[in-house]
Structure 1
Amino acid sequence: MTDILDHAALKTKQRAIRDGFPETMGLRAHRAISWIGRAEACGEDDDARFIFLWIAFNAAYADEREFQPVAPRERAAFVDYFGRLVARDAGRRIYKALWQRFSGPVRMLMENRYVFNPFWQHHNGICGFEDWEERFKASSRSFAQAFQAGDSIRVLSFVFDRLYVLRNQLVHGGSTWNSGVNRAQVRDGAAILAFLMPVFVDLMMDNPHEDWGRPFYPVIT
């Protein structure tokens, strides 16, 4: 089983090969690795670990134009990024992480209604989400089919849909730090990201000339 990559290993590799990186990809890798390192320094603080790892994810994949007024759907950007990663994952490290190391936490995440967006839409009184339970069951069935089929791209899409709800709860103040309730999704979410993010960045460094997108916020001095 693949060992967990850490910040030190990623940084050592980056320094050894970064001269061959296109400028935009090099910036993405540099920024993502820095946030992975910051997440490692959080120790057992799962809330902080999750937030810093999500920043690393944004640094690696995001076309920041999506944060501007005319933006493509973020979920579509997720799927595009996952597709490029999986296509270049010759060692099937993502697949092994999802189906072997984290199959339990991933399944628990998918069964958790508190990270299912229509659940919150309904409980906030927004019309059109009275059927959130049916949607939840349908989503679970679709996830199970993707999981059984070994479809890494679809599985990642489902997982990150749930993690995005958790991200919103934390970043927008919808959760208490180190709360005594609903901790499983924070703990599992941080653990999943802590394994996947270094793998994502490592695959990017192995394929530097793939079009990983141009950061909207380049370094300007």
Structure 2
Amino acid sequence: MPNYESLKARQRQEREHYPENLSIRVHRALSWLKQAEQTDDTDSQFIFLWIAFNAAYAQEFAQKRQFTEKNLYQSFLEKLIYLDKEARLTHLVWQEFSGPIRVILDNDYILQAYWEYQAGHITEDSWQASRKSAKARAHKALANSDTATVLAAVFSRLYTLRNQLLHGGATHGSQANRAQLKDCVCMMQKIVPLTIELMMDGNTATWGDPVYPLV
């Protein structure tokens, strides 16, 4: 699997030939991947890896509040899988991280609807319906070996975990959900650099302008 050093070396050789939007995305993503690789703190690793992924991915609709498995990252992940001629993302999902992914998808505490119910924003019936629907979609994707949909569902759960950390909804180093967080970090440590590499492979593809362009 690629890491910061190998990706940075390649970027230095190729960046003059990248379109500007891809060049900005890769440059920013690599800067955060470097930070993630330089710390042993699990919370910090997760945050840096999330920023690296978002720097690579971020689209305008990512500024909206509502995220669902139906649309969260779906087209982006499908593009990555299309570019992944060696099926490395598929291998990660169905071989290396099959167990942790199933645990993540079954964890109610990183399903956003659960916290909306706890805050009184939705009823218990709405929460249970959301829970049932999310799990049904995830299980269908697992049964159909639908890599993009499974990854989209996983990242929607990671988005909730990201919110808990960045909005002060968790204690640094807390043991609550610690095993889950470690599983997420292990997975992202391989998915994020691979994402950057696949974008570099697809440097003629359309990645769109970054949300905050260089001005």
Q: Could you say which residue in structure 1 is the equivalent of 2:186?
A: 191
**Number of the residue aligned with 1:41:** 38
Residue identity over aligned pairs, in percent, reads 38
TM-score (normalizing by structure 2): 0.91
1:121–1:129 contact (8 Å) kept in structure 2:
no
Structure 1, gaps ≥5 residues long: none
Residue 202 (structure 1) aligned with residue 165 (structure 2): no
Q: Output the CA distance in 2 between the equivalents of 1:19 and 1:191.
A: 32
Partner of 1:15: 12
Would you say the 8 A contact 1:62–1:215 is kept in 2? yes
Distance change >3 Å, CA 210–CA 47, structure 1 → 2: same
8 Å CA contact 1:122–1:130 kept in 2: the answer is no
Which residue of 1 is the match for residue 54 of structure 2? 58
Q: Give the count of matched residue pairs.
A: 213
Partners in 2 of 1:72 and 1:130 — Cα distance? 22
Deviations 1:65-108 (A, max 9, x none): 743xxx59655351121121112111111110111111111111
Q: Whole-Å Cα distance in 1 between the matches of residues 131 and 27 of structure 2?
A: 38
- Aligned mates of 1:64, 1:191 — CA distance in 2: 28
Aligned counterpart, 2:22: 25
Partner of 1:99: 94
Q: Is contact 1:143–1:158 with CA below 8 Å preserved after alignment? A: yes
Cα distance in structure 1, aligned partners of 2:122 and 2:137: 24
Structure 2: unaligned runs, 5 residues or longer:
none
Q: Residues of 1 paired with 2:117 and 2:86: CA distance?
A: 42
Alignment match, 2:214: 219
Which TM-score applies when normalising by structure 1?
Answer: 0.89
Letter in 2 for 1:190: V
**Equivalence for 1:88:** 83
Alignment of 1:68-83 (within 5 A): 76=71, 78-83=73-78
Residue 139 of structure 2: aligned partner: 144
User: How far apart are the structure 2 equivalents of 1:150 and 1:103?
Assistant: 11
Q: Is the alpha carbon distance of 1:145 and 1:64 closer, same or farther for their aligned partners in structure 2, counting shifts above 3 Å?
A: closer
Distance 1:66 1:128 in 2: 26
Q: Which runs of 4+ in 1 moved over 2 A?
A: 63-67, 71-77, 127-142, 216-220
**Alignment RMSD (CA, Å):** 1.9
Residues 61, 213 of structure 1: 8 Å contact kept: no
Give the letter for the 1:186 counterpart: L
Q: Matched residues in 2 for 1:172 and 1:102: separation?
A: 28
Contact 1:64 1:217 in 2 (8 A): no
